[in-house]
Amino acid sequence: MTVVEPFGLSVRDQTLEADVQAGLAAVEEGLLEATKSDVPFITESAQHLLRAGGKRFRPLLVMLAAQFGDRHAPGLVPAAVVVELTHLATLYHDDVMDEAVVRRGVPSANTRWGNSVAVLTGDFLFARASHILADLGPEAVRIQAEAFERLVTGQILETAGPDQDRDPIDHYLDVLSGKTGSLVAVSGRFGAMMSGADESVVNILTQYGERLGVAFQLADDVLDIASDSHESGKTPGTDLREGIPTLPVLRLRALAAAGGSAEDLELCRLLDGDLSDDGRHAEVLHRLRAHPALEQARRDTVRYAADARAMLAPLPDLPAKAALEGLCDAVVHRAG
């Protein structure tokens, strides 16, 4: 058994391991090439987060999905580069919106160069992704455009918040389906589609990716509370400080609204206060780490990962199927 880095996925088949490793190496070369500019400063800013590392979760899913068709099809690496460039671009924009100071263990682009450069660098990456996508054909362009619309819609819905008569947790899960699930779904879809897999396989891996993407983001929600910066590559409690209602906080508020304890109400009061104060922020983090709401969010993560795993049942028993099941386990482990 070997481990495919950087996500830490255990792979038990040597041929699959070799294919995935070769594919991810080619994607890395493609990402470096796609982020080069004739202007050295643009190259530096565009490669800032790329060189900081990352899990390459979406390209990995492309390569695994391709195992159900022609795993050496020429469109696979460009498609994987497209989804990862799109993801990277959203990180630049997210950090501006969240006023984040750390990303992937390094200063965020907005901290280093300011908001304008960070936003424009994200736009540059979107442009490069579109350029590569154009060579993959009109169907790929349409799929990516629809996913990008869902991604942006999810971000807008998160910013706007739920309607008055909408359950905040249901609203949030819809947000995640758009914000995160859409692009992970495209990763599975592109891998299967570009490899020429059967349409039924394409549909299964698209739905699998959507559910896995939500589970992945829910695990991030748990990590934002439970981890230190060494584990997550981000400052702990960044979402808390910015008032972003992640699932542990929404679970806490639901408990409080349903007749929670005095401690629940006090913690909600602290959350509603000024968390720019380091002492108050640390107190809220400490209390949330010990609160049942965090464990509920972990169970939600497990549920979505289990739903993703169940989608794979009709697929043939190839080593790639076991690896995709392993991705579900890896997501749950991150939130454990």
Query: 6 preceded by cis ω (within 30°)?
Result: yes
Q: How far apart are CA 175 and CA 165, in angstroms?
A: 16
- Confirm if 240 and 248 have CB atoms less than 8 A apart: no
Q: How far apart are CA 39 and CA 58, in angstroms?
A: 28
- What H or E segment, with its residue span, contains residue 85? helix 76-98
The upper half-sphere exposure of residue 87, i.e. CA atoms within 13 Å in the direction of its Cβ, equals 24
pLDDT value for 100: 74
pTM for this entry: 0.90
pLDDT value for 12: 72
User: Cα–Cα distances in Å, from 61 out to 55, 189, 225, 300?
Assistant: 11, 9, 27, 22
- Confirm if 332 and 302 have CB atoms less than 8 A apart: yes
Query: Which three-class secondary structure string do you get for 166-216?
Result: CCHHHHHHHHHHHHHHHHHHHHHHHHHHHCCCCHHHHHHHHHHHHHHHHHH
pLDDT value for 13: 84
- What H or E segment, with its residue span, contains residue 102? strand 102-103
pLDDT value for 157: 93
List of domains in the chain: 14-196 (1.10.600.10), 198-312 (1.10.600.10)
Identify any residues that bridge with 4 across adjacent strands, giving them in sequence order.
Answer: 9
- Rounded to the nearest angstrom, the gap between the alpha carbon of residue 297 and the centroid of all alpha carbons in its chain is 17
If phi > 0 it is left, if psi is from -120 to 50 it is alpha, else beta; for residue 10 that is beta
- What H or E segment, with its residue span, contains residue 243? none
pLDDT value for 3: 42
Average pLDDT per 10 consecutive residues for the chain, totaling 336 residues: 48 86 96 96 94 90 97 96 96 83 82 92 96 97 96 92 93 96 98 98 98 95 80 69 88 91 91 87 92 95 97 97 94 79
User: Cα–Cα distances in Å, from 257 out to 164, 167, 225, 291?
Assistant: 15, 12, 21, 15
pLDDT value for 106: 87
pLDDT value for 234: 59
pLDDT value for 9: 59
| 3-class state of residue 42 by DSSP | helix
Q: How far apart are CA 236 and CA 221, in angstroms?
A: 10
Tell which residue, 132, 4, 18, has the closest CA to residue 60.
4
